Amino acid sequence: MQPWRALLGEGVEQYIGLDPILEGMVDVVAAGENIPFADRYFDVVICTQVLTYANDPAQLVSELHRVLRPDGTLILSTTAMYPEFHDEHWRFLPGGLRILLSDFSQVEIVPEGYSIHGIVRLMNVALSLVSDNYYVQKALSLTLIPLLNRIAPTLDHFSHGSTRYTTNYSVRAIK
């Protein structure tokens, strides 16, 4: 779907979508562990919610590093805690991410919300599973779930920086 394309602005000469399955706006079909581009090809690589599906996350990160130019930027996000989804193999915490990204010169890991926010996200997933009834699902998706999403960041203040129940991490790494 290339949701990040618009954020990169008009000056982008080339934007390539790579995925192991040809669907949506995929330009190149390949697994991340074997990226079919030359060394130092990209200025920026965006890898969102992919590590959990990789057969070999270390090889995937090695490939991301290989195809980045010197001083290139990797933007990465990954699941830490969430209900199991199809074909997942891994979950990552900051310590594991630092090990995987140790070849990068700079690594910044940011939680996508703290513990209360994470618990609210999990509650929203649970609410979406409460009923198979279309009307109940629709009512929840239009009322309670958005309300919880809106108040979670405010309530997260009471987490006092705890990442114990953070569901996701974002990373910026510089080669």
Based on the domain organization, do 22 and 105 belong to the same domain? Answer: yes
Residue 134 has a pLDDT of: 93
Based on the fold, state whether residues 82 and 124 are members of the same structural domain.
no
What pLDDT does 172 receive? 98
The whole-number average pLDDT for the span 151-173 is: 95
Is the same domain home to 15 and 73?
A: yes
Please state the domain count of the chain.
2
pLDDT 10s digits, 117-126: 999 999 998 9
Phi then psi for residue 96, to 5 deg, are -65, -40
Asked whether residue 63 falls in the same domain as residue 123, the answer is no
Would you say residue 173 has pLDDT above 90? yes
Is residue 4 over pLDDT 90?
Answer: no
Residues 66 and 141 in one domain: no
Over residues 97-101, mean pLDDT: 98
Per residue in 74-95, pLDDT tens? 999 999 988 888 889 999 999 9
Distance CA 138, CA 144 (A): 10
Residues 16 and 42 in one domain: yes
**Domain span holding position 148:** 115-159
Q: Give the other-Cβ count within 10 Å of 93's Cβ.
A: 14
> Are 144 and 167 contained in the same domain?
no
One domain for residues 127 and 54: no
Closest CA to 2 of 89, 32, 19: 19
Tens of pLDDT along 10-56? Answer: 778 888 999 998 888 889 999 999 999 999 999 999 999 999 999 99
> Are residues 170 and 145 part of one domain?
no
Q: What is the CATH number of the domain that holds 82?
A: 3.40.50.150
Same domain, 93 and 41: yes
Please check the confidence at residue 1 and state whether its pLDDT lies above 70.
Answer: no
77 in the same domain as 130? no
Query: What is d(CA 95, CA 175) in angstroms, rounded to the nearest whole number?
Result: 19
147 and 62 assigned to the same domain: no
pTM over 0.95: no
